[in-house]
């Protein structure tokens, strides 16, 4: 009797995860230290907001290492279907980190706005660190986004979204520094507050997506129609009369009921069932499929 699902290690997936973790943790740590130093020396609210965001990125990077390690563990008696649900759980941790960074950015911008005197921000170090940060984050976004699509990882997709958010945050902070010099000193805290709003927006989108993975969100209508069409192409399938999908972790589980000729032998019917399973599990976003067979003239 089989109690644990079959598991085939995927060395390529594990390699991509290691690359993504190295880039994410290393890049965020470098930027957090550099921005923290520049924010302290310049007193810029916009750069402080950006630095707070980078510190939160370091925290979630460390947690991401632990979470992805758990998600890659093979099935066992405690988790017979595997540990893939840990991955969207890590995505929620990333979301919480983003939300905290948004709160800290907004708090600092408001505090700077409430100061009695505001002075323009110097243009040397702030400009350099913000442009360098934007360039590094563009590289991180493109790399992590490509990896997330390659291995269908919601955690890495959330991380890529956070990297894109950081690019725009750095550019907003850059405009705030310039505005404080050439327009009005209030441009700096205003930019810091806009950065906070952008962080909150991305945290909401990431949280909604990963929460859907954990609460059994189903496939889209277009995806379900593609699944039905694929099943109906299998020789011997006369009709699909029931299909349900839900995310179990980052990929879908499908339960499908099909009608076949009731005069076929058990062996023939079983071959049809196996063909349907192979057809469905060939979709990259499908983890596993379960098939129920019924004679075509069966009356429920």
Write down the pLDDT at residue 46. 63
To 10 degrees, the CA torsion angle through 92, 96, 98, 103? 160
Write down the pLDDT at residue 261. 92
pTM over 0.75: no
Write down the pLDDT at residue 293. 92
Write down the pLDDT at residue 279. 95
What is the average pLDDT score of the chain? 82
Q: Give the separation between CA 81 and CA 270, rounded to whole angstroms.
A: 23
Reported as a single tens digit per residue, the pLDDT across 131-146 is 888 889 899 999 999 9
Write down the pLDDT at residue 124. 64
pLDDT-above-70 percentage for the chain: 90
Q: What integer is the mean pLDDT of 73-93?
A: 82
Q: What integer is the mean pLDDT of 181-207?
A: 78
Domain ranges for the chain, please list them.
11-214, 221-295
Reported as a single tens digit per residue, the pLDDT across 171-190 is 776 776 677 667 777 776 77
| Segment among 135-139, 211-215, 244-248, 280-284 with least mean pLDDT | 211-215
Write down the pLDDT at residue 217. 87
Which SS3 state, helix, strand or coil, does residue 224 take? helix
198 band by pLDDT with thresholds 50, 70 and 90: confident
Assign domain 11-214 one CATH number from 1.20.1510.10, 2.40.50.140, 3.90.76.10, 3.30.70.360: 1.20.1510.10
Write down the pLDDT at residue 271. 95
According to CATH, the topology of domain 221-295 is Alpha-Beta Plaits (3.30.70)
Top-confidence residue, 198 or 188: 198
What are the counts of helices (DSSP H) followed by strands (DSSP E) for the chain? 8, 3
Say if residue 66's pLDDT is above 70: yes
Write down the pLDDT at residue 115. 63
Q: How many CA atoms lie within 13 A of 109 on its CB side?
A: 28
| Segment among 44-58, 119-133, 139-153 with least mean pLDDT | 119-133
Specify the long-range contacts of residues 215-223, CB closer than 8 Å, at least 24 apart.
216/246, 216/247, 216/248, 217/246, 217/247, 218/244, 218/245, 218/246, 218/247, 219/245, 219/252, 219/285, 223/252, 223/285
Q: Phi/psi of residue 74, each to 5°?
A: -70, 160
Q: Give the separation between CA 15 and CA 287, rounded to whole angstroms.
A: 20
Write down the pLDDT at residue 177. 66
Say if residue 123's pLDDT is above 70: no
Write down the pLDDT at residue 37. 85
Top-confidence residue, 275 or 150: 275
Write down the pLDDT at residue 43. 72
Write down the pLDDT at residue 94. 78
């Amino acid at each position: 009797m089989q109690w644990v699902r079959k598991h085939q290690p995927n060395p390529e997936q594990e390699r991509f995860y290691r690359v993504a973790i190295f880039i994410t943790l290393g890049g965020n740590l470098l930027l957090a230290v550099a921005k923290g130093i520049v924010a302290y020396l310049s007193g810029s609210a916009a750069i402080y907001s950006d630095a707070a965001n980078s510190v939160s990125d370091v925290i979630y990077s460390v947690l991401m290492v632990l979470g992805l390690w758990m998600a890659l563990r093979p099935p066992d008696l405690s988790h017979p279907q595997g540990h893939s649900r840990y991955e969207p759980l890590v995505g929620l941790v990333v979301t919480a980190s983003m939300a905290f960074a948004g709160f800290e950015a907004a708090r600092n911008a408001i505090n700077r706005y409430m100061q009695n005197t505001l002075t323009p921000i110097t243009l040397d170090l702030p400009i350099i660190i913000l442009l360098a940060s934007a360039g590094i984050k563009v590289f991180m976004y493109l790399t992590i986004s490509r990896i997330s699509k390659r291995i269908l990882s919601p955690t890495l997709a959330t991380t890529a979204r956070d990297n894109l958010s950081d690019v725009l945050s750095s550019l907003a902070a850059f405009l705030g520094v310039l505005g404080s010099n050439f327009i009005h000193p209030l441009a700096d805290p205003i930019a810091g507050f806009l950065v906070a709003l952008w962080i909150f927006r991305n945290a909401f989108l990431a949280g909604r997506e990963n929460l859907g993975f954990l609460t059994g969100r189903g496939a889209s209508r277009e995806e379900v129609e593609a699944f039905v069409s694929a099943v109906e192409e299998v020789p011997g399938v006369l009709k699909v009369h029931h299909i349900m999908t839900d995310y179990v972790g980052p990929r879908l589980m499908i339960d499908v009921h099909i009608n076949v000729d009731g005069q076929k032998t058990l062996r023939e019917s079983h071959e049809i069932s196996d063909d349907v399973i192979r057809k469905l599990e060939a979709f990259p976003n499908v983890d596993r499929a379960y098939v129920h067979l019924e004679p075509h003239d069966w009356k429920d």
